[in-house]
Structure 1
């Protein structure tokens, strides 16, 4: 049976998912803690990518090499940078780009050297299921999030997500990032610190990858304000609801 890996970057983003596993087993490998168990009758491995591209790549490689996962799904938070992408919205990634990769003039800016590509697309089929799960999860979770009325009408967007080893928290830096990537033909809707690395590893191994991110801030000067509270009160419940719906959809395949 196919094994699904559910990745999160931070412990707060993973909160509640471990408790929902049936017969959970804790395994330590590569200095990381993995939880293997079942959800809705299907084998699952939960893991924390940790923060940054190298850490995320190590975790993804371990999931594939040591646990033999058949697909990888990433949930978590990101800064919104695209037009109309607001705090409390959700972005489904269609692809990832490393916004801080620049080996020019040897290679075009953003292109990963020797790969011939800068855009790392997500798996179409898995992403379609994750998008459906997001719609179902957020619709069914209205009552659960009633106390967070300002996020009650969350919109779901699909598009490019930019990854880099920096926490973008400046309006001017975010604008420059968006402008540069738009000129390169990869306008981003959100920015974070892990997804492109996981996408590249999964592409190398031929493992389907999909990702969804809840927008915690607008990657501006207020990006750090109430971040822990947002993750605990909004992003984590969103992730639990979406993962629950996704596992239901996967069980029907």
Structure 2
């Protein structure tokens, strides 16, 4: 066996006893602005770094948690979720963050807690023919295409048995029931701390579909296709990756995504720069209420 490098050896010696001390709820956000509110209310916070990734343990809304950033993109989200599951005793995974709204009935500031998640950008780029776009005979798609985009399913291995090919990865039904209870009692903010205000009262929507892909969405045509093809309410860049890793590890998962923008559906420039803070606060507020409502 090769000797450990001094830094790695010290990390293992100092961190290992504390990592799996108690069962914890993983509370994730994609990037820094999304977890500021969560950190502010964290009690008995202790920080540790694993493979360059910062994890903060403590108590939030009366529950033992570990807070960390997934990083933006599907690969980062999958990597950090598995890293957390490998080093902590995690019994639930909760994601708090912002998203783009693709359901025309929703509004900026609303929070969506989708019942299942799929990867819209897991795709085959089809050849253009004289009559449109056509996949090779050895490929197929369960969904209508958008020009050259033919969305594919994903084959995932788990301890359930043979690898399974699927598109949708579910949120945990028991966690969704708690989210429904909390949604009825939580009033979301309509103004941010820097006085960016909405002309409507944001609402919580539990159920329906969410989709993810490693592309920032700001395109009206693709937004319409995503809504009509996947019956999706929101689009983001991480949730399905986390849902897939949680499914493969058989750990309950739920994601709270607040709309910072309309993914290309607005009349002018993308709205995220204006309403990101408001959306982040609304998602975090609901997550904290959700944690408090969870049974011991």
Q: Name the TM-score, length of structure 2 as normaliser.
A: 0.75
Highest CA radius of gyration, 1 or 2?
2
Equivalent in the alignment of 1:163: 212
CA contact (8 A) 1:5 1:46 kept: yes
Secondary structure in structure 1 of the residue aligned to 2:54: strand
Asked if residue 236 in structure 1 is aligned to residue 287 in structure 2, the reply is: no
Q: How many residues align?
A: 244
Q: 2:82 matched to 1:34?
A: no
| Deviation of the 1:162 alpha carbon | 0.8
Matches within 5 A, 1:44-193: 44-102=65-123, 105-106=138-139, 108=141, 109-113=151-155, 114-138=163-187, 149-150=197-198, 152-157=200-205, 158-179=207-228, 181=229, 186-193=230-237
Confirm whether residue 12 of structure 1 aligns to residue 33 of structure 2: yes
RMSD of aligned alpha carbons: 2.4
Q: Is the CA contact 1:127–1:211 (under 8 Å) kept in the aligned structure 2?
A: no
Change (3 A) 1:135 1:241: farther
Structure 1's unaligned 5+ residue stretches are: none
SS at match of 2:37: coil
> Which residue in the other structure is 2:128 paired with?
none
Contact 1:99–1:164 (CA<8 Å) still a contact in 2? yes
Contact 1:72 1:209 in 2 (8 A): yes
Q: Are 2:108 and 2:261, in contact at CA under 8 Å, matched by a contact in 1?
A: yes
CA contact (8 A) 1:137 1:238 kept: no
Cα distance in 1 for residues equivalent to 2:121 and 2:223: 12
Check if 1:227 corresponds to 2:276.
no
**Paired residues of 2:97 and 2:284 also in contact (CA < 8 A):** no
Question: Structure 1-normalised TM-score?
Answer: 0.87
Residue 176 of structure 1 and its aligned partner are, at CA, apart by 2.5
Contact 2:92 2:253 in 1 (8 A): yes
Structure 1 residues 212 and 176, CA, compared in 2 at 3 Å: closer, same or farther? same
> Quick one: distance in 1 between partners of 2:271 and 2:103?
21
Residues 136 and 242 of structure 1 are in contact (CA less than 8 Å); yes or no, is this contact kept in structure 2? no
Instruction: Work out the CA distance in 1 between the residues paired with 2:101 and 2:238.
Output: 15
**Greater share of helix:** 1
Cα distance between partner residues in 2 of 1:160 and 1:221: 18
- Over 3 Å counting, the alpha-carbon distance change for 1:148 and 1:229 in structure 2 is closer
- 2:97 and 2:199 map into 1 onto residues whose CA distance is 16
Structure 1 residues 143 and 235 mapped into 2: Cα distance closer, same or farther (>3 Å)?
closer
Residue 249 (structure 2) aligned to one of 185, 202, 205: 205
